[in-house]
């Protein structure tokens, strides 16, 4: 293209006076080369469009996969959370069991079952010189401390009572033919019966 301009310039110099040469040079119109000849932009467009499409598709697919992944993670999180809850609950239950086993009351009952009692008098052996400090005394069952409360007393109202009914003298006279002591037998039996029914009702409860 530059050679073309140069040849035109050479032609012009021959016809135009020298002083106007610069102006002519400025005013000269040249034909713009057809767009097609610029072709390089046309050539660059296709890869660009492809690139955009690929990015779009990639984005959509990526987003979809990302979302799916998130969903998967969410399912997993729910499942794991459930597992965490289960395990926490189990740990706590085991800890509670441990607490129960370590409870002084339980240990004391176990020790008592083995026939142990708390020492009545503390005494020590000093490791350094082997001296015995305090009065070591073997403990006896009398030193035992009761670890369970006394059974609570029954309230008066449900204690079994023996009812003593006195037979009026008049009645005794009329039933004089009976063997003496019958009346007491009756009351005693009555009392016993009452006591036994109460004991029964207590047992069923």
Partner 1 sequence: MRLRIGLLVIAMLLSLFGARLFQLQGIDSKAYATRAAQAGLVSIELPAKRGRILDRNGVPLAESVAGVMIVADPTRTTPNAEAIAKILSERLGLDYFDVLSKLTKKNDQVRFVYVARRVPSTLASSVMDQLRQHEYVGLDTRSDPLRTYPAGDVGANLIGYLSDDPAKFSGGLERSFNKLLAGKDGSETYEVGGGNRIPLGDNSEVKPVDGQDLTLTIDRDVQWYSSRVLRTAVEQSKAESGAAVVMDSRTGEILALADYPTFDANKPGRANVKDLGTRALSDVYEPGSVEKVLTASALIDAGKVTPQTRFTVPPVLPVLDRKIGDWFNHGTIHLTMAGVIARSSNIGTAMAATEFTPEQLWSYLDKFGLGQKTDIGMPGETRGLLPPRDQWSSLTRAQIAFGQGVSVNALQMATAVNTVANSGQLVSPSLVEGRATTSSGNEVGTATTTRRTVVSPEAARQTAEMMELVTTQDVGTAPGAGIPGYRVAGKTGTAQEVGGACNCYADGGLAVSFAGFAPADKPRFTVYVVIKRPMDGASGGGTAGPVFRKVLSYVLQKYAVPPTGTAPSTLPTKWRPRNHG
Nearest distance in Å: CB 158, partner 1? 18
Task: Identify which range of 27-35, 46-54, 82-90, 177-185 contacts partner 1 by CB under 8 A.
Answer: 82-90
Task: Identify which range of 40-48, 50-58, 146-154, 194-202 contacts partner 1 by CB under 8 A.
Answer: 146-154
Contact call for residue 105 and partner 1 (CB under 8 A): yes
Could you tell me the two tokens for 195? Answer: 């006591």
Q: Are 183 and 172 in contact (CB under 8 A)?
A: yes
Contact call for residue 85 and partner 1 (CB under 8 A): yes
What is the distance between the alpha carbons of residues 23 and 10, in angstroms, rounded to a whole number?
Answer: 15
Q: How many residues bind partner 1 (CB under 8 A)?
A: 41
Could you tell me the two tokens for 5? Answer: 């301009």
Contact call for residue 113 and partner 1 (CB under 8 A): no
What is the distance between the alpha carbons of residues 171 and 169, in angstroms, rounded to a whole number?
Answer: 5
Contact call for residue 175 and partner 1 (CB under 8 A): no
Task: Identify which range of 34-42, 123-131, 157-165, 167-175 contacts partner 1 by CB under 8 A.
Answer: 123-131
Report strand pairing: 132-133 vs 124-125. antiparallel
φ and ψ of 189, to 5 deg: -60, -45
DSSP class of residue 176 equals T
Could you tell me the two tokens for 62? Answer: 């990526």
Contact call for residue 100 and partner 1 (CB under 8 A): yes
Tell which one of 42, 93, 175, 201 touches partner 1 (CB under 8 A).
93
Could you tell me the two tokens for 40? Answer: 């390089």
Query: 3-class DSSP state for residue 129?
Result: coil
Contact call for residue 127 and partner 1 (CB under 8 A): no
Contact call for residue 123 and partner 1 (CB under 8 A): yes
Task: Identify which range of 34-42, 51-59, 75-83, 189-197 contacts partner 1 by CB under 8 A.
Answer: 75-83
Quickly list H helices, the chain.
2-15, 21-27, 35-38, 40-102, 104-113, 169-174, 182-204
The residues binding partner 1 (CB under 8 A) are 67, 70-71, 73-75, 77-78, 85-86, 88-90, 92-93, 95-96, 99-100, 102-105, 108, 118-124, 126, 133-135, 137, 145-147, 149-150
């Amino acid at each position: 293209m530059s050679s073309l301009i140069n040849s035109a310039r050479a032609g012009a110099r021959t016809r135009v006076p020298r002083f106007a040469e610069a102006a002519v040079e400025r005013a000269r119109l040249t034909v713009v080369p057809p767009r097609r000849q610029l072709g390089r932009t046309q050539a660059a467009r296709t890869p660009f469009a492809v690139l955009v499409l690929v990015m779009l598709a990639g984005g959509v697919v990526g987003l979809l996969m990302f979302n799916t992944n998130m969903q998967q993670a969410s399912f997993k999180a729910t499942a794991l959370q459930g597992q965490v809850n289960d395990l926490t609950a189990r740990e706590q239950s085991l800890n509670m069991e441990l607490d129960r086993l370590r409870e002084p009351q339980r240990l004391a009952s176990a020790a008592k079952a083995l026939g142990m009692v708390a020492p009545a008098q503390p005494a020590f052996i000093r490791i350094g010189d082997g001296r015995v400090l305090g009065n070591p005394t073997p403990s006896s069952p009398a030193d035992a401390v009761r670890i369970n409360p006394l059974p609570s007393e029954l309230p008066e109202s449900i204690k079994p009572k023996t009812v003593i009914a006195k037979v009026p003298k008049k009645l005794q006279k009329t039933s004089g033919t009976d063997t003496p002591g019958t009346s007491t037998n009756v009351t005693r039996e009555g009392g016993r019966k009452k006591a036994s029914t109460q004991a029964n009702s207590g047992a069923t409860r």
